[in-house]
Amino acid sequence: MNRYYGLFLGTAIPFKHLKKIIRKFNDDYYDKASPERQQDFIEIIPEFHINHSHDPHRRLECIMVEPAFLNRFLEIINNLNFTFILCHYTHGHFQTTMNGIEYSVTNFRSLEDVVYLLLEDEDDIERRFSKKLRTLPLEKQFASAPGIKTSEEYQHLLDTWVKEVLAYPAKNA
């Protein structure tokens, strides 16, 4: 079975609608497939970054997609009001310290070889950085760059992004 992360990035992720879509794929296709066919399914593990959300973190079950239906699944998901990025089933963690404060991120690599860095909220004890992030346009709430391979490139991307967020005008924060 192939596994991927599915990054959900957006302002208002429609959880109720997503649950229906996932139920359709999981119940109608995966559960009804033979055990032999189930071995060929793709498992997509949801990861979320929700802009302007004050809702408690919501969880979705893993999405089981038959390879023949992957493009249809992506088409359905991409027609909703958020960005969905299919990523390799590996991720990492990077940290940087600025002004005595540590910032930690989880990194994901898309199938198109773009790296995404997302803040790990649990390290932002006073929630200052995450509160500021929510005031920024969605595309500034995470860092991304194509073709990053080395630790130095990851670190440079992280340092640059944190500096940009910290330098964003206070009137918007």
Tokens 């109608």 label which residue? 28
The structural domains of the chain, with segments of one domain joined by +, span 2-172
Q: State the chain's mean pLDDT as an integer.
A: 88
Torsion sign (Cα): 52, 55, 56, 61: negative
Question: pTM, whole model, 2 decimals?
Answer: 0.86
Closest CA to 25 of 59, 85, 75: 75
Q: Cβ(7)–Cβ(87) under 8 Å?
A: yes
Encode pLDDT of 127-171 as tens digits. 778 888 888 888 899 999 999 999 999 999 999 999 999 998 865
* 99 confidence band (pLDDT: 50, 70, 90): confident
